[in-house]
């Protein structure tokens, strides 16, 4: 760690210690009242909605905990302690510097709520880890790797195959991240594609694809926040103007075909090509046991489990959404709950896969049971990071970040005019980056967007697109985003390596998207704006390539 980083870290720790000292000294000195909007006993000085002065709650201070956590993570390259310090800072502010209140907030409102709220995703993570361990033990991954060596000839082909699979699995981002990673790791590894690049492609085809797919869990989330009966219609109308999601896909294809990388990703890719080191730095967590391909191992031992998992999960999602109660497929996806449907489908798939492998006699029953703890161990890092990240989100929500952002947006709406979509995009980016959640950003901004634009207007559609695109962008960049965490898990890539290599690419597309939302606010014609955005994305890549090549020479 450099001297400047050490100084920054010491300052951050000193701030936290100072907050803790104030907490201990002032414990119990502030009166509390029952706040119906916050569902808790809080200090009257902290809550704007209670008629207090709003010193912390509902103010810019509400964004301090995630800023601390993200800053420390990027400086120290250590994610667990950084997230915990952010949670602790949030607990101190949330409890109005009460020592016992801080502990209560961190444990109950933070960690316990995070575990209970994410329990379904944790179960699905473990189920998927077990499925991957089963496939590896049965030799399915090794057989697929042998097949790929003869059919996928190049690094470009491996990356494009990963991209195509990511686009095809559009029903849910968690499912996308973990399934694509599990299937394509053997292929990309054999072609010396760095784990950082694999994680980026997974992330770039997870949330961005779900955000432009009408039948997905993301479409369901957006529908829930929009005015009743208008959600899915607005979502579909907003798809062509969702510049960040669409241009991210264009960006991935273009940079792959150009055989070009820049920023931190370039270091990882060069190291993978020249030294066959897929990690460059950070953890090399390979918990699953892989078996060499043999005559007994067949490609079907990977294809059947993956197909069983996809079919089971899609069926479970529409079942939870009420398809057997008379709902259409679209309505079933709109009403589904992924935290229930995915573990439901994962369990069914797991039973089917074990029975299949026993019938095929590629593993014994004891070996299949040995895969259970292996799968769990493989997913422990992702579960820990997801727990801490969700707890940090809970702290940020408890501090009323949505009130601050909501007031900021609604107060400036009239003055911004046609520039408003671009401003909405920036606000959504910042909010999603700080809180690590796209869906939470939807919940805050969509009601504001639908209120400040004229119903049925093209500007409303563009504003909705800007909100959705910004939420995806901020979520894409944030180290505490669940989708970013899942992409790291899917690619088995060190989490901070994934964040640091992905961010320059995401920021490039975000800058282009901002320009396009400025243009779209005035032009309001998708047949002009979208082609222009695609051309601008490709041209930007050529310009960056020319500049980097010139510097290298």
> Given this model, what pLDDT does residue 400 score?
75
- 244: in domain: no
Identify the DSSP state of 475.
H
Q: Are 302 and 173 part of one and the same domain?
A: yes
Count the domains in the chain. 3
Q: Are 152 and 299 part of one and the same domain?
A: yes
Q: What is the pTM of this model?
A: 0.70
Structural domain harbouring 173: 119-218+261-380
> Is residue 121 within 8 Å of residue 112, measured between CB atoms?
no
Q: Are 339 and 440 part of one and the same domain?
A: no
- 250: in domain: no
DSSP 133-159: HHHHHHTHHHHHHHHHHHH--SHHHHH
Distances (CA, A) of 214 to 224, 317, 333, 456: 13, 14, 9, 19
- 287: in domain: yes
Residue 229, φ and ψ in degrees, nearest 5: 85, -10
Separation between Cα atoms, residue 408 and residue 275, nearest integer Å = 50
Q: Are 88 and 127 part of one and the same domain?
A: no
> Given this model, what pLDDT does residue 457 score?
85
- 361: in domain: yes
- Last residue within a domain, chosen from 380, 410, 440: 380
Q: Are 8 and 157 part of one and the same domain?
A: no
Which tens digits make up the pLDDT trace of 56-77?
A: 556 677 778 877 887 787 677 6
- 389: in domain: no
> Is residue 364 within 8 Å of residue 2, measured between CB atoms?
no
Q: Are 288 and 358 part of one and the same domain?
A: yes
Q: Are 186 and 73 part of one and the same domain?
A: no
Which tens digits make up the pLDDT trace of 364-380?
A: 999 999 999 988 887 78
- Last residue within a domain, chosen from 99, 117, 135: 117
Q: Are 45 and 105 part of one and the same domain?
A: yes
- 531: in domain: yes
Q: Are 136 and 276 part of one and the same domain?
A: yes
- From first to last of the 553 residues of the chain, give the pLDDT tens digit: 565 556 555 655 665 555 555 554 444 444 333 344 444 333 333 444 443 444 455 667 777 887 788 778 767 767 778 888 888 988 888 887 788 888 888 898 888 988 887 788 788 878 878 887 888 788 887 777 677 777 888 999 999 999 988 888 776 677 678 778 877 888 898 899 999 999 999 999 988 988 887 766 576 567 656 666 566 678 888 899 999 999 999 999 999 999 999 999 999 999 999 988 898 876 665 444 444 444 467 888 888 988 888 888 888 888 888 888 888 777 776 677 777 887 888 899 999 999 999 999 888 999 999 999 988 887 787 788 778 877 887 887 778 766 676 666 655 555 566 788 999 999 889 888 877 778 767 766 777 787 778 778 888 899 999 999 999 999 888 888 888 988 998 888 888 899 999 999 999 999 999 999 999 999 999 999 999 999 999 999 999 999 988 877 6
How many other C-beta atoms lie within 10 A of the C-beta of residue 417?
Answer: 11
Separation between Cα atoms, residue 88 and residue 252, nearest integer Å = 38
- Last residue within a domain, chosen from 97, 117, 137: 117
- 320: in domain: yes
State the burial class of residue 355 (Cβ atoms within 10 Å of its Cβ: 0-12, 13-18, 19+): exposed
Phi-psi region of 336 (alpha: psi -120 to 50; beta: other; left: phi over 0): beta
* Tokens describing residue 154: 């190049």
Separation between Cα atoms, residue 518 and residue 525, nearest integer Å = 12
Q: Are 146 and 176 part of one and the same domain?
A: yes
Q: Are 19 and 148 part of one and the same domain?
A: no
- 453: in domain: yes
Q: Is the dihedral of CA 384, 390, 393, 395 positive or negative?
A: negative
Closest listed residue to residue 101, CA positions, set 29, 16, 14, 15: 29
Identify the DSSP state of 40.
E
Separation between Cα atoms, residue 238 and residue 232, nearest integer Å = 10
Q: Are 281 and 202 part of one and the same domain?
A: yes
């Amino acid at each position: 760690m450099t001297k400047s980083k050490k100084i920054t870290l010491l300052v951050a720790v000193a701030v936290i210690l100072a907050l803790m000292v104030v907490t201990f000294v002032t414990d119990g000195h502030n009166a509390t009242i029952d706040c119906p909007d916050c569902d808790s006993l809080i200090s009257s000085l902290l809550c704007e909605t209670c008629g207090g002065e709003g010193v912390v709650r509902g103010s810019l201070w509400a964004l301090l905990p995630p800023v601390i956590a993200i800053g420390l993570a990027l400086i120290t390259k250590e994610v667990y302690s950084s997230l915990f310090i952010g949670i602790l800072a949030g607990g101190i502010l949330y409890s109005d510097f009460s020592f016992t209140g801080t502990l209560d907030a961190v444990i109950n409102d933070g960690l316990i709520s995070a575990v209970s709220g994410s329990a379904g995703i944790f179960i699905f993570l473990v189920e998927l880890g077990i499925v991957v361990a089963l496939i590896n033990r049965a030799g399915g991954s090794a057989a697929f790797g042998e097949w790929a060596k003869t059919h996928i000839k190049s690094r470009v082909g491996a990356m494009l195959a990963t991209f195509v699979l990511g686009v095809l699995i559009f029903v849910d981002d968690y499912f996308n991240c973990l399934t694509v990673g599990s299937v394509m790791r053997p292929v990309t590894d054999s072609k010396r594609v760095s784990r950082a690049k694999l994680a980026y492609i997974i992330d770039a085809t997870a949330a961005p694809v779900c955000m432009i797919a009408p039948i997905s869990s993301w479409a369901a989330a957006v529908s829930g926040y929009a005015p009743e009966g208008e959600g899915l219609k607005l979502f579909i109308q907003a798809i062509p103007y969702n510049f960040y999601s669409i241009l991210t896909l264009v960006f991935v294809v273009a940079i792959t075909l150009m055989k070009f990388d820049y920023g931190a990703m370039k270091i990882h890719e060069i190291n993978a090509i020249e030294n066959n080191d897929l990690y460059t730095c950070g953890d090399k967590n390979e918990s699953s046991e892989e078996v060499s391909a043999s005559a007994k191992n067949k490609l079907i031992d990977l294809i059947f489990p993956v197909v069983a998992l996809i079919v089971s999960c899609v069926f479970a999602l529409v079942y939870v959404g009420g398809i057997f109660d008379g709902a259409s497929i679209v309505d079933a996806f709109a009403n589904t709950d992924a935290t229930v449907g995915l573990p439901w489908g994962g369990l069914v798939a797991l039973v089917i896969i074990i029975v299949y492998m026993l019938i095929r006699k590629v593993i014994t029953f004891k070996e299949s049971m040995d895969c259970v703890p292996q799968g769990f161990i493989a997913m422990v890092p992702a579960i820990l990071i997801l727990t801490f990240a969700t707890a940090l989100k809970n702290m940020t929500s408890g501090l009323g970040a949505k009130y601050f952002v909501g007031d900021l947006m609604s107060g400036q709406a009239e003055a911004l005019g046609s520039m408003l979509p671009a401003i909405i995009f920036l606000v959504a980016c910042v909010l999603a980056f700080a809180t690590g959640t796209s869906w939470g950003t939807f919940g805050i901004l969509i009601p504001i967007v639908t209120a400040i634009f004229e119903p049925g207007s093209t500007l409303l559609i563009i504003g909705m697109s800007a909100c959705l695109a910004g939420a995806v962008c901020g979520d894409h960049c944030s180290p505490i985003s669940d989708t970013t965490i899942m992409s790291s898990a899917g690619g088995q890539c060190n989490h901070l390596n994934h964040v640091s290599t992905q961010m320059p690419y995401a920021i490039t597309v975000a800058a282009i998207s901002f320009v396009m939302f400025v243009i779209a606010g005035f032009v309001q014609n998708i047949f002009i704006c979208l082609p222009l955005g695609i051309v601008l994305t490709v041209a930007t890549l050529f310009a960056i390539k020319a500049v980097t090549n010139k510097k290298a020479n």
